[in-house]
């Protein structure tokens, strides 16, 4: 059994001319909600497994908050620029290339952005998946032995955690 967890970054600052989209930080409320959602996830999972984040600051901040709640040291968080620059529904193979790198781990958590996370989670499950809100968490399990066996529409949504239910 393998599991992918998709965590959309928390609420971020509005775009402003003095900094790029890449540099946007979480708002104070976004940080609080991210911590609440990390605790919600902890009720479902003992560990986030391998943590892979977009390098965009708001996604990295979200990953650091989750890591703190789970007791994972920041140096264990992997940063992958494809989660910011290349992710879209056509990049399903990008997800496969990221998970295929580590067959020894059964759980991988991704921290990133919409619309790609909503599209990819939807494509992984035969039942589909709703739009992911900011700091939404979707856990998808696969009845497979190796990551290379992942295919579209074979995943099962184990949980879909939404921030409005955590507060």
Give the model confidence (pLDDT) of 55-90 as tens digits.
999 999 999 999 999 999 999 999 988 888 665 545
CA atoms within 13 A on the CB side of 74: 5
Is pLDDT at 48 greater than 50 in this prediction? Answer: yes
Q: What value does the mean pLDDT take over residues 29-54?
A: 95
What pairs with residue 5 in β-bridges? 109, 139
Residue 110 lies in a domain: yes
User: What's the domain count of the chain?
Assistant: 1
* pLDDT beyond 60 at 10: yes
How is the chain split among helix, strand and coil, in percent rounded to 5? 40, 25, 40
Give kind and range of the element (H or E) at residue 109.
Answer: strand 107-112
Q: What is the per-residue pLDDT for 25?
A: 94
Residue 146's pLDDT band (cuts 50, 70, 90): confident
CATH number at residue 143: 3.40.50.1240
- 2 inside domain: no
Does some domain include residue 3?
no
Res 89: pLDDT: 45
First-last CA distance in the chain? 31
The domain containing residue 37 runs over which residues?
8-12+21-166
- Residue 115 counted as domain residue: yes
| Inside any domain, residue 51 | yes
| pLDDT 10s digits, 91-144 | 566 666 666 666 778 999 999 998 888 888 888 888 877 889 999 999 999 999
Are residues 127 and 152 in contact, defined by beta-carbon separation less than 8 angstroms?
Answer: no
Q: Which residue has the higher pLDDT, 30 or 105?
A: 30
């Amino acid at each position: 059994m393998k599991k992918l967890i998709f965590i959309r970054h928390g609420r971020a600052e509005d775009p402003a001319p003095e900094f790029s989209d890449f540099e946007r930080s979480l708002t104070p409320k976004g940080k609080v909600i991210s911590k609440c959602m990390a605790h919600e996830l902890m009720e479902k999972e003992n560990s986030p497994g391998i943590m892979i984040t977009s390098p965009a600051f708001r996604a990295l901040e979200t990953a650091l908050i989750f890591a703190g709640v789970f007791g994972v040291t920041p140096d264990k968080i992997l940063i992958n620029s494809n989660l910011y620059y290349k992710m879209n529904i056509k990049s399903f193979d990008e997800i496969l290339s990221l998970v295929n790198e580590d067959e020894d781990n059964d759980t991988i958590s991704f921290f990133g952005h919409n619309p790609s996370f909503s599209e990819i989670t939807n494509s992984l499950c035969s039942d589909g998946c709703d739009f992911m809100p900011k700091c939404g968490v979707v856990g998808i399990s696969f009845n497979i032995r190796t990551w290379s066996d992942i295919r579209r529409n074979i995943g099962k949504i184990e949980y879909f955690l939404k921030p409005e239910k955590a507060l």
